[in-house]
Chain A
Amino acid sequence: MGMVRESQFHVLAVDDSQLDREMIERLLQKSSCQVTTVDSGSKALEFLGLRESNDPNSLETHQEVEINLIITDYCMPGMTGYDLLKKVKESAAFRSIPVVIMSSENVPARISRCLEEGAEEFFLKPVKLADVTKLKPHMMKTKLKKEGEKVAEEENATSKPEESLVVEMILPLNQELELEQQEPMLSSNKRKAMEEVISADRSRPKYNDITTSV
């Protein structure tokens, strides 16, 4: 992957339990990620710049902070992980950030609800190193997208931007297959949502330019 810069992935981790925050932080650092932890959904939104807080000392809108993944606990007082997921997916600026939900409870209805809302993965706690390594492809997706845009702007068309388009298409399909294996009764809404995402990407002007000039 020569076109991806060697900078670290930056993960935003959300959990109301201090112990679990320390655990997830260490897990992610051990996997070479940069980590920011917050103890609530509202602080997560503040950090992303989605909500202005009343506190003048709090973080202002961050446009330079690039978050490659949000990993959040499900059960939190106030805003749950599910609420946070919804807010992120409803935001035009941040909906492309992959979101992963963690929960200590194995509730199938909860899991499918989160996946339908757009969560990439659902991890049962306690989260292990092996789980965290599954996150790399999701984070790579957003990095490739961004790098693809940069390449398109800087160079003439090469085959590489097309490759990133292919990678983007393959990953959602893999996820779809995985989900099918786990949840045979996957709702058509999820599939539809995925297809919409793929076609939306295709119709972006940059990719059209590349395909026509090749």
Chain B
Amino acid sequence: MNTVVAKLQRQFQDYLVSLYQQGFLDNQFTELRKLQDEGTPDFVAEVVSLFFDDCSKLINSMSRSLERPENVDFKQVDSGVHQLKGSSSSVGARRVKNVCISFKECCDVQNREGCLRCLQQVDYEYKMLKTKLQDLFNLEQQIVQAGGAIPQVNIN
């Protein structure tokens, strides 16, 4: 039983570290994990879920604003990017946040093509992260079900 838990914990730790190393997550995700405790065991999952919902909604509305070349509402797009940058920053979604930085630049110069590219990229990145974190949470669940504790992972 112990070796099963130890193996899962090791898997979890390695996976989480790889997400940082590959740039999916940054230090803010570590800060987020600090806020979770026995009293709030689902905090990270809930916040992350809120973030992905935000991504979906904002990407849809920005897509509509960018749809017609002759009538782009850049103000709306800018507002969407601002919100997306804020939420991605709050949860530590590093790649998503970085795309938002480029996205804002395209928006500032009213570059519709650039915006469309960034929109596509942001969509790709958030969905990729969603899959990765789902795998991470699944590992967590397995550890808990096997009677183990979620490791505190220190990232330098």
Contacts and interface: CB of A to CB of B under 8 A. Distances in A.
User: Do chains A and B interact in one complex?
Assistant: yes
Interface of B: 28, 31-32, 34-35, 37, 40, 43, 46-47, 50-51, 54, 82-83, 85-87, 89-91
Nearest to A20: B90
B90 A19 contact: yes
A128 interface: yes
Contacts of A30: 34-35, 37
- The 5 lowest CB-CB distance pairs between A and B, nearest first, are A26-B35, A126-B90, A19-B50, A104-B86, A19-B87
Interface string A1-32: 00000000000000001111011001100100
B50 A104 contact: no
A128 B31 contact: yes
B75 to A, nearest CB: 13
24 contacts: A17-B83, A17-B87, A19-B47, A19-B50, A19-B87, A19-B90, A19-B91, A20-B86, A22-B47, A22-B50, A23-B35, A26-B35, A26-B43, A30-B34, A30-B35, A75-B82, A104-B86, A125-B89, A126-B28, A126-B31, A126-B89, A126-B90, A129-B31, A129-B34
Contacts of A23: 32, 35, 47, 90
B35 A125 contact: no
Nearest to A75: B82
A123 to B, nearest CB: 13
Given A19-B50, A22-B50, A126-B28, A27 B89 contact: no
A24 to B, nearest CB: 10
Contact of B54 (A19, A27, A126): A19
B105 to A, nearest CB: 15
Contacts of B82: 75, 104
Contact of B86 (A17, A26, A27, A128): A17
Given A18-B50, A22-B47, A104-B85, A27 B90 contact: no
A126 B82 CA distance: 14
Given A22-B47, A23-B47, A125 B31 contact: no
Contacts of A125: 86, 89-90
